[in-house]
Chains A and B, each alone.
Chain A
Amino acid sequence: MKQRFKEHIKQDKEEWGLPEEVESIEEMIRLYRAGKISDNEFRRFRLQYGAYGARLNQDFTMMRIKVPAGILFPDQLRRLASLSEAFSIGSVHVSTRQNIQMHWIYLDDVPEVERGLVEVGLTTRESCGNTIRNIVVSPFAGVCKKEPFDVTPYAKAFAKFFLRNTLNQNLPRKFKFNFACCEEHNLSKIADMGLVPITKEENGKIVRGFRVYLGGGLGPASFIAELLEEFTNEDQLLPTAIAVIRLFDRLGDRINMHRNRMRYLVHDMGFNKFKELVLKEREIVNATKSIYMKLDIKDIEKPTKGLISIKPFNASNEYKRWFNTNVVEQKQQGYYLVFISLQMGDISANQLRELARVVEEFSGENAIITTPQQGFVIRWVLGSDLPKLYKQLSSVGLAKPGALSITSAVACVGTTSCNLAITNSHRLGKEIQQRLLEKGLDKDKDLEGVTIHISGCPNSCGQHMIGTLGFYGGASRVNNTLTPTYNMLIGGRIGEDARLGRVITRVPAKRVIDVILKMISIYKSERNDKEKFTQWIDRILEGRGSNIKDVEELRKIIEEEAKIPDADIDADLYLDYGSDNKFTAKTARGECAA
């Protein structure tokens, strides 16, 4: 079965981990426990190795595994499964930046976990702390119908070049690269440096290059990145990146931890000024370039066509439903991408093992890719294999429909693990997904392109700023009772015309689902003709709505819907999801800026 793929697609496995680092982690923890190094020094060290403090409990930590371009191999999936059972909670979490996170690990078990990761080529190095974080790549890269060329080799080369590079060991703050594959599958404008591949013709030859976007990012204050220049030739890609990082390293704010991301630097000096500095710095980089500063780009060889022999079969309704929202044709005829929608990125050890087996049998690249939607995608699946693959996935609960629809909400971990969380955004996300699936909204074509994003605090790890509907957690007094609430935003989107959402009102946690459903029903009665939900939102934002004209008028209706009776009538409405206790907003110091 596997044989038929072997010759043609080869996703190279890189060794990201280093065995000697396991020993240095062991040693540092020993020194720390013996009181030989300070809390601060140790914190810096452990963040460099992806160990992030757990919510309100000093004994435990989260470990974030860096997964460049989101590529994981079957042996790595199996290892994640066994490590999560042995040292974590028996499931792992896929993050929006394509990392894998394991939570509630004893700090003192970190070396043992790292050892297990390194053995299969993985690392947690530079996945937290003030470093260049995981390189995010569109999961469509290499198979996208609209891409000019495959960016995967560039992204991997970037990851290789920067990992452990002295350039990024002590930046003012973290730094994020996002690679898009085309205009649509594109998170370039919400990163410190976003890269969109393009080509142009020069003397009858096709030349590769990128549109480079700088200074974007989501957080308590979010910014959309701006374009550096129309065309950055591929050979200028690395010099440009180095120039930007050197500038950030030199000029970034190291004092004020709330303003030390590069976007503030760019914003404060103005983009034109920053751009000028970047271009100048690039000249210096080019002039002093050493032989080590070269990306090793090797295109991955791919077939252009698969076996095209999908036999007609009697597809069940469930199969069709899954097919419609989870399966996408590749540009290589006969091959498909199969998306796996998890519940807010959580997958159990047993499911991981099953996935490993399925990947070996069905993925032409013998690998799986994590997606920014907190899921997975199996690629290079032959069309004729789809029914069989569906059956196997559904037998382990991995064929949930709606992967590319409104039902696949995205949510950060919130109070399940994060020190800064005010609300249980994670559980809310799961509840939303379940309700919307029950209502069959994944099947609603009018809702295509609608995304729901939830964060447990203003920090935006759940990317609430880019959701068509976005929510971020807070605590407010409602009818004189402290209540978990969400600020609701509308109109966020990604892509080349990326836009940040606009806050419209505040909603008690237990009313969020009602409000989402209300929005859909308002849209249905307000829409013009064949207008999609997202288009209707655009009209509202522009003040051109039908009966409901603008954001002001919409707010009133939503506020009405969000009202809750007094606590003595229905106390549950004042509690957060997943908790029977009176709501309190407990938080501790975040470690972002440590």
Chain B
Amino acid sequence: MRKIIIKPKELLNKLDEYIIIDARKEDEYKEGHIINAISLPLARVLDAKDPNELAEVFRSVGVSNDDKVVVYDDIFGAIAARVAWTLEYIGNDNVSLLSVTFSKWKSMGYKVEKRIRKRKEAKKFIVRVNDAILATADYVNAISKTNNKILLDSRERLNYLDAHIPHAINISWRALGNEDSILKSPEELRRMLKNRKIDRDKEIITYCGSVGTLSGLAYYALKYAGYENIKLYAKSFKEWKALQLPIEEFKNATYWDLSAE
């Protein structure tokens, strides 16, 4: 069965089973990366215009449909999650996230290297678009209070209070992980979601501020907790605002002035 999260020890035990993708910037990769990892910065994924171009990006770095892939980054798993989700979207279901960030990996004393790793290009990548996991602006705009869907805003609380998509509720991406792992345990996540009345039988759509990174992490948090019916609004609030779609604001309090930042 596919694993959502792979812990460092598990990965090190099965190094030859997995293709490890470093989703950070190329410069960062060059300064040192997890052993065996290849570099595929998120920016390259975001640049691709359609599923075919995406498939080509992955194929060219040696990833095909059936390869087992582990992605990591150094920004709390958010960048890695977006890369992983994209791979899933175009038809590779064997993608996992590393449970720790690169910094954490290093601080735990696990092996890093500077050597630039390249894989042979894959023969082919067959595009099988999984539309069930993508939400568009139109789709989100059709959400109402009653249609059994939950819209989940993954940004931090003050941003959410400031303005959000109508009907959205907020779980900050910071509530998803802890110091040891980019995601809390499935039990902890389930407990939190249950308290918030986010039921498994509902469809959940996640979004965040810009390109679906923080909400990508939320997507995988939900999966990790055992939820199945999840979509990512990949273009998120950035597109929503640009399209001048309706927003909900909370202006009855000057909550920003409570922040120490």
Contacts and interface: CB of A to CB of B under 8 A. Distances in A.
Given A104-B157, A112-B191, A586 B252 contact: yes
B260 A351 contact: yes
Interface stretch (B20-28, B134-142, B173-181): B173-181
B261 A578 contact: no
Interface in A405-436: 413-417, 424, 426-427, 430
Interface residues of A, number: 44
B196 interface: yes
Interface string A190-207: 000000000000000000
Contacts of B252: 55-57, 586
Contacts of B175: 86-87, 109
A334 interface: no
Contact of B197 (A108, A416, A578): A108
Contacts of A342: 260
Contact of B260 (A33, A111, A346): A346
Contacts of B161: 104
Given A82-B179, A87-B175, A90-B156, A577 B257 contact: yes
Given A90-B261, A346-B260, A348-B261, A416 B196 contact: no
A33 B199 CA distance: 14
Given A104-B158, A416-B254, A416-B257, 17 more contacts: A56-B252, A57-B253, A82-B178, A85-B156, A88-B157, A89-B156, A90-B156, A90-B174, A90-B261, A104-B161, A104-B255, A104-B258, A112-B195, A343-B260, A414-B254, A426-B258, A581-B251
Contact of B258 (A85, A417, A581): A417
A109 B195 contact: yes
A59 to B, nearest CB: 8
A90 B257 contact: no
Nearest to B192: A112
Interface pairs A-B: 6 shortest CB-CB: A86-B175, A91-B260, A346-B260, A578-B254, A56-B252, A348-B260
Interface string B237-261: 0000000000000111111111111
Interface of B: 156-158, 161, 170, 172, 174-175, 178-179, 191-192, 195-197, 250-261
Given A112-B192, A416-B254, A86 B174 contact: yes
B196 A109 contact: yes
Given A86-B174, A89-B157, A586-B252, A108 B196 contact: yes
A505 to B, nearest CB: 25
A56 B174 CA distance: 25
A54 interface: yes
B157, B255, B257, B261 pick with most chain A CB within 10 angstroms: B257
A360 interface: no
Interface in A42-100: 54-57, 82, 85-91, 93
Contacts of B253: 54-57, 415-417
Contacts of A111: 195
B260 A347 contact: yes
A87, A104, A581 pick with most chain B CB within 10 angstroms: A104
B192 A109 contact: yes
A16 interface: no
Nearest to B198: A108
Contacts of B196: 106, 108-109
A309 interface: no
A89 B258 CA distance: 8
A343 B192 CA distance: 32
Nearest to A421: B253
Nearest to B184: A86
A346 B259 contact: yes
A118 to B, nearest CB: 14
Contact of B254 (A87, A93, A348, A427): A427
Contacts of A106: 170, 196
Interface string A17-49: 000000000100100010000000000000000
Nearest to A78: B179
B259 A91 contact: yes
A579 interface: yes
A103 B258 contact: yes
Contacts of B178: 82
Contacts of A415: 253-254
A571 to B, nearest CB: 18
A430 B257 CA distance: 9
A589 to B, nearest CB: 14
A160 to B, nearest CB: 30
A426 B257 contact: yes
A77 B61 CA distance: 45
Given A29-B195, A90-B157, A578 B260 contact: no
A342 B255 CA distance: 17
Contact of A91 (B172, B250, B254, B258): B258
Contacts of A89: 156-158, 255, 258-259
A347 B260 CA distance: 5
A414 B196 CA distance: 28
Nearest to B178: A82
Nearest to B179: A82
Nearest to A397: B260
A417 B259 contact: no
B174 A57 contact: no
Contacts of B250: 57
B77 to A, nearest CB: 15
Contacts of B259: 89-91, 346, 348
B197 to A, nearest CB: 7
Interface in A574-594: 576-579, 581, 586
A89 B259 CA distance: 7
A210 to B, nearest CB: 37
A85 B174 contact: yes
Nearest to B254: A578
A483 to B, nearest CB: 16
Contacts of B251: 581
A93 B260 CA distance: 9
Given A86-B175, A108-B197, A111-B195, A579 B254 contact: yes
Contacts of B191: 112
A33 B197 contact: yes
19 contacts: A54-B253, A85-B156, A85-B172, A86-B174, A88-B157, A90-B174, A91-B259, A93-B258, A104-B161, A104-B258, A106-B170, A106-B196, A108-B197, A346-B259, A415-B253, A424-B257, A426-B258, A430-B257, A578-B256
A56 B195 CA distance: 22
Contacts of A351: 260
Contacts of A581: 251
Contacts of A112: 191-192, 195
B203 to A, nearest CB: 20
Contacts of A26: 195
A413 B258 contact: yes
A578 B197 CA distance: 34
Nearest to B157: A89
Contacts of B179: 82
Nearest to B175: A86
A104 B258 CA distance: 10
Nearest to B188: A112
A342 B253 CA distance: 22
